[in-house]
Amino acid sequence: AQSVAQPEDQVNVAEGNPLTVKCTYSVSGNPYLFWYVQYPNRGLQFLLKYITGDNLVKGSYGFEAEFNKSQTSFHLKKPSALVSDSALYFCAVRDENTGFQKLVFGTGTRLLVSP
Amino acid sequence: DTAVSQTPKYLVTQMGNDKSIKCEQNLGHDTMYWYKQDSKKFLKIMFSYNNKELIINETVPNRFSPKSPDKAHLNLHINSLELGDSAVYFCASCSRGRAGRDTQYFGPGTRLTVL
């Protein structure tokens, strides 16, 4: 069965500093990996995904993520954090062998960017 | 134009009542989902429909009954509401083609409070 772990409940970073939100996964086949962001009282917004190809994926709002197969990780990164990046971030995985596109989410990481 | 919409946005009701949440997508997708986000922000899939056919049913009490009148709509009816049903319910949609590589897009959520 597929699973996702986000080991940090919260990440604190100062504005202008680089940020990393960690994600590791477990699947039986090849993974399809996604990052979503949830602002307060809002739905989930898609940020980026890894399906195949280049291990470094660029997404919305200057975010990027690096797929590392040997470490089964897909960490979300941004070179310079903004206060407006403060939100709840979810990593999700789908196993390529899952015929019905079942997406499994991590428990979420709250990002707080201080001015 | 809103891609995935849900009504109502807020729903407050008494225990034992029956209520429905509606979802509509205008993305031309053929697969739709219901997710439940609990008070700890944990997000879990409940149901999925593809072309009006139920394809995922995740150990959800049978008080919950999804209905898909057409590909663009997926409604969720809940009978005999219980306190533990209080949560935010998200609808999502996706194209099932391309071997499950496509992104799921989420609605804004419906916050259900059972008193």
pLDDT in tens, B45-65: 999 888 888 888 887 899 999
Q: Is the pLDDT of residue B98 over 80?
A: no
Whether A107 and chain B come into contact, CB under 8 Å, resolves to yes
Whether A5 and chain B come into contact, CB under 8 Å, resolves to no
B100 with A108: Cβ contact below 8 A: no
Whether A49 and chain B come into contact, CB under 8 Å, resolves to yes
Which residue, A21, A39, A107, is CA-closest to B43?
A: A107
Q: Is the pLDDT of residue B96 over 80?
A: no
Q: Is the pLDDT of residue B101 over 80?
A: no
Angle at B83 between CA B81 and CA B84, to 5 degrees: 95
A43 with B48: Cβ contact below 8 A: no
Q: Is the pLDDT of residue B102 over 80?
A: no
pLDDT in tens, A49-98: 998 889 999 999 999 999 999 999 999 999 999 999 999 999 999 877 76
Which phi-psi region, left, alpha or beta, contains residue B71 (left: φ > 0; alpha: ψ -120 to 50)? alpha
Residue B98 one-letter amino acid: R
Better-scored residue on pLDDT, B34 or B53: B34
Angle at B6 between CA B1 and CA B10, to 5 degrees: 125
Q: What is the mean pLDDT of chain A?
A: 93
Q: Best of A27, A34, A37, A44 to disrupt the B interface by mutation (most B CBs within 10 Å)?
A: A44
Whether B56 and chain A come into contact, CB under 8 Å, resolves to yes
